[in-house]
Structure 1
């Protein structure tokens, strides 16, 4: 089992016309629609639109004044880990499938797909002049992609996953890796290497050249343009996993696995405020181009919106978005167990797909048999019909053994009573009506 979201689409001309009324008068909306953790956010240079990438294998293009989704985009065979804004209406996405896609407007297919990495793409960065896209991947390399279509370059040297990449105003590339090194690459591909006390998860470069790196030690590491350590600012007890820099370079946002977002005064080297977003990881951050707003996406599938100066929440959510789809099954043990699956699957005829297919009408359906869902090739070869017994067996021995080739996260229900309760609930909740 896995996930997709069906949301309304619109054209960029429609977006521009609506925004001509001005953003100030519209109430900001939290961005809701992904079926899995939000791994990446990028805001268009004019602040009108944003794109998010998720574990649910999709990217969503959003209209920021209303919080409406303009398009749900799918090409990656795996999580969308990175997003970069290349211009008005043009974005790049990097995926677990090692590919990079270039999207223009609301087109359902990418304008271009870049291949070459041998592992998941973890980060993307565009040069200030908009001519170069840099990618970092878990194959241990950084790749440079001229956006005019010229020949690219490969930068090698990290020992292990490369988690972050940035491009300075003069075109220098900076990368950060799980090997605890930060590398500043010269034009000939020779790096200056700075070794830090912990693995690094993200990197940024400020307008004045200072380098900012998020450490697994919960520190924001601040280095000179030449790679000399200057200071550290503690940003939380959990590993720091995401960074964003305000357009004026004064404020660094840093988030980690415990749900808080620290806003750091870069010159003072200290946290000036903490945005309490809950207890789940915040995987992605982005400032609006005017620096007034911070967007934060996390494991709960929501992109929250904050006033970057005051720390006040901006986002509001319509009451329908907050409804509990399992409220009608209160007290049902099977329904409570299903909550672990609800991020990826819907149960109703109008629920649609998420990262996994809708489960409506599941029993009696052949595996990989729901029209319109992109199943993995391994599942299409299996001879299974979903019944009370086969669903129970799936949760007894786990998806990797029972349905080899699946992208479903490994989940087992080892208690026989719990397993029976879950399957009985699914029979009731997914029955055609």
Structure 2
């Protein structure tokens, strides 16, 4: 439940209005908006995927997607086609309109952990154990990578869609798709648990098991790291203009400014407001509005360029699992470990 003293010290006018709410049958694990902003998909630890009307919260479809649990899901950036990954060793493609199964994509281990769409919506990547596979939007196989050194922990396309980055123990790899999946290895002795590629394709940032942030500037190959986090920084997010990198790793949101020469030797922006470890971060697709969620059930919205005070707040029932801005930018959705789904209007 919300911490009473924290509620009391925030002006009521800053509480974000609830637009709609719903629930799934177990821990809500993942969330994604359709590109037309009309459907919000939520996956659960039971294996259920529920499609909510993005305007009213009405349940459109409930899909028994993956026995054992849904680990990841993502709508295509160009049409209402939903990719899911699960503990049954498969990824699957579904119609986001009626919930019909479009294709079943086998993994290479007991589960498929991650899915990621190419920005043009024509290709889908799936990560299963040490292997990544690339598929067409219809589910036809395109290529398979050589096995990584360990389980793939991150999967993200470049903005142009020509490259695919992965992370695991020992560093990151950047695969050139047009070259048949040839990769460049950026080594780092340690286990990587999170991965984020800047929208301008110039910097890849990672959170490490050793409570540090490591990043590579791809044009030069230069790498740097920031350490001293109290916990593992699992939450990372880039601003749309690629100048701000928001990181978790404690109750404070730490933001590094990559404008100019970058963050080396500079003081980060520190956003204090949560009482528990930050569990998720996301920026709007335009501008620098940032949302953060934490173990304390709180959801805060910030504009780091305007100051260190939150613009708005809301609460879920349990620790926040995932946040996602509606593509038209007027709403924010959040899910939690109790299966709660909520959508709020953003502060003016």
TM value normalised by structure 1: 0.57
Aligned-partner SS, 2:153: strand
Any residues of structure 2 matched to 1:259-408 within 5 Å, and which? 260-267=252-259, 268-269=262-263, 271-274=268-271, 276-279=273-276, 282=279, 284-291=280-287, 293-296=289-292, 304=299, 306-309=301-304, 312=310, 314-316=312-314
> Which has more helix, going by share of residues?
1
User: How far apart are the structure 1 equivalents of 2:311 and 2:46?
Assistant: 26
What corresponds to 1:248 in structure 2? 241
What corresponds to 1:215 in structure 2? 208
* Distance change (3 Å), C-alpha of 1:35 and 1:148: closer
Any residues of structure 2 matched to 1:12-91 within 5 Å, and which? 27-28=17-18, 33-34=23-24, 36-47=26-37, 49-62=39-52, 71-86=61-76, 87-91=78-82
Preserved CA contact (<8 Å) 2:291 2:300: yes
The answer to whether residue 102 in structure 2 is matched with residue 116 in structure 1 is no
Any residues of structure 2 matched to 1:72-221 within 5 Å, and which? 72-86=62-76, 87-137=78-128, 139-168=129-158, 169-177=160-168, 179-186=169-176, 187-209=179-201, 210-221=203-214
Give the drift of 1:66: 6.1
User: How far apart are the structure 1 equivalents of 2:185 and 2:302?
Assistant: 36
What corresponds to 1:358 in structure 2? none
Count of matched residue pairs? 294
* Distance change (3 Å), C-alpha of 1:102 and 1:148: closer
* Distance change (3 Å), C-alpha of 1:164 and 1:152: same
Give the drift of 1:115: 1.6
Aligned-partner SS, 1:152: strand
Preserved CA contact (<8 Å) 2:175 2:184: yes
CA deviation profile, 1:6-49 (whole Å, cap 9, x unmatched)? xxxxxxxxxxxxxxxxxxxx835696624554433334445555
Preserved CA contact (<8 Å) 2:276 2:295: no
> Which has more strand, going by share of residues?
2
Give the drift of 1:223: 0.5
Aligned-partner SS, 1:162: coil
Preserved CA contact (<8 Å) 1:29 1:314: no
Give the drift of 1:161: 0.8
Preserved CA contact (<8 Å) 2:20 2:56: no
What corresponds to 2:13 in structure 1? none
CA RMSD of aligned residues (A): 3.6
User: How far apart are the structure 1 equivalents of 2:60 and 2:301?
Assistant: 22
Bigger mean CA offset, 41-50 vs 161-170: 41-50
CA deviation profile, 1:360-391 (whole Å, cap 9, x unmatched)? xxxxxxxxxxxxxxxxxxxxxxxxxxxxxxxx
Bigger mean CA offset, 36-45 vs 188-197: 36-45
User: How far apart are the structure 2 equivalents of 1:42 and 1:273?
Assistant: 28
Long gaps (5+) in structure 2: 1-15, 319-336, 341-348
Any residues of structure 2 matched to 1:231-246 within 5 Å, and which? 231-234=224-227, 236-246=229-239
Give the drift of 1:174: 1.1
Give the drift of 1:208: 2.7
* Distance change (3 Å), C-alpha of 1:161 and 1:261: farther
* Distance change (3 Å), C-alpha of 1:216 and 1:148: same
User: How far apart are the structure 1 equivalents of 2:180 and 2:47?
Assistant: 36
Give the drift of 1:99: 1.7
User: How far apart are the structure 2 equivalents of 1:41 and 1:106?
Assistant: 16
Preserved CA contact (<8 Å) 1:235 1:255: no
Give the drift of 1:275: 5.4
User: How far apart are the structure 2 equivalents of 1:249 and 1:49?
Assistant: 27
Bigger mean CA offset, 96-105 vs 35-44: 35-44
* Distance change (3 Å), C-alpha of 1:151 and 1:88: closer
Preserved CA contact (<8 Å) 1:31 1:303: no
Any residues of structure 2 matched to 1:406-425 within 5 Å, and which? none
TM value normalised by structure 2: 0.69
User: How far apart are the structure 2 equivalents of 1:82 and 1:118?
Assistant: 16
User: How far apart are the structure 1 equivalents of 2:51 and 2:183?
Assistant: 36
